[in-house]
Amino acid sequence: MSDSTSRCGYVAIVGRPNVGKSTLLNHILGQKLAITSRKPQTTRHTLLGIKTEGETQAIYVDTPGLHKENEKALNRFMNKSATQALRDVDVVLFVVDRTRWTDEDQMVLEKVRYVTCPVLLVVNKVDRMDDKQELLPHLEWLAQQLSSAEVVPVSALQGRNIEELEKLVAERLPEGEHFYPEDQLTDRSSRFLAAELVREKVMRQLGAEIPYQVAVEIEQFKQEGKVLHIHALILVEREGQKKIIIGDGGDRMKKIGQEARLDMQKLFGSKIMLNLWVKVRRGWSDDERALTSLGYYF
Ligand code: GDP
Ligand code: K
Ligand code: MG
């Protein structure tokens, strides 16, 4: 450690869906905490990932991607949580994908432009660079828009330049006592993380439409001796979706269960007994009360 001053602060990770925000957080933590997939809107909730190293505690805030809003309450909820995360933080990581700039990136830029804390422009997916000259066409222009922003090219997937990024973050954190004990990894409960892991497998298993209409509720979470017993309910909007999730002769459900169980085993360091059910609950994603009961706190 070069610095013996205690530092602590919040670091918002923002960007449009699919630029790799959650992958970046997992890499920084060295733990799969946040769920990721190729599909936009995988991340629905803000999630804290706490990294304490020596005198420095960085509290990362993973956010749902800011995206074009549709009518649904769930979408309004996601944009609101992403916007709120920009308030009262000490550093902002504005994550972009070096291969693509879209209207939704522009939307994020319009918000990030006005933050008063330091911004790091994280250009992700540099492993996909075919021609080094072509590092995101908008990059130079973008850096000018954010006058104080430093540009940091990384690969969240391969872990390239992440230590450098963490160093730049640490230098920008305010001096102060740590807010969390040094072994605490997140603000979320194990139940929440378990539900998210099941939802990730559903997101990854299914085609384009259905994943956005799926929620997961943990009905039981109980340690008995060396075994953690988890009962999870997968909620869908329609009968047809239930059939698809279950799959031929229960094939898909079995796969979802096996993959979720392996991730849970790693995360909780315990043997897992996982039981899954699918149930139709119509309209949950556009019903603020249903959303609240599922842990989406407006
Ligand atoms: P988020 O929506 O911004 O949280 O994005 P995710 O972390 O869920 O990642 C979206 C997709 O991009 C996933 O399929 C990731 O595996 C992929 N991805 C993330 N980071 C990188 C990277 O550095 N390189 C490449 N090639 N893919 C990445
Ligand atoms: K995603
Ligand atoms: Mg995410």
Residue 176 annotated in ligand binding: no
Rounded to the nearest angstrom, the distance between the alpha carbon of 64 and the centre of ligand 2 is: 9
In this prediction the pTM is: 0.91
Q: Is the pLDDT of residue 264 over 90?
A: yes
What pLDDT does residue 285 have? 77
Asked whether 129 lines ligand 1 (CB < 6 A), one says no
Atom of ligand 1 nearest to the CA of 38: 14
Q: Are 234 and 245 in contact (CB under 8 A)?
A: yes
Distance 35 CA to ligand 2 centre (A): 8
> What is 7-172's CATH number?
3.40.50.300
Higher pLDDT pick, 290 / 216: 216
Give distance in angstroms: CA of 39 to centre of ligand 2.
5
pLDDT tens for 103-112 read 999 989 999 9
With a 6 Å cutoff on the Cβ, whether 21 touches ligand 1 is: yes
Is 2 a residue whose pLDDT tops 60?
no
User: What local confidence, expressed as pLDDT, does residue 3 receive?
Assistant: 60
6-20, 38-52, 140-154: which has the minimum mean pLDDT?
A: 140-154
ipTM beyond 0.90? Answer: yes
- pLDDT reported for residue 282: 86
Rounded to the nearest integer, the mean pLDDT of the chain is 89
CATH no. for 190-293? 3.30.300.20
* Confidence label for 254 from pLDDT (cuts 50, 70 and 90): very high
Would the pLDDT of 128 be above 80? yes
**65 annotated binding-site participant:** yes
Sequence spans of domains, the chain: 7-172, 190-293
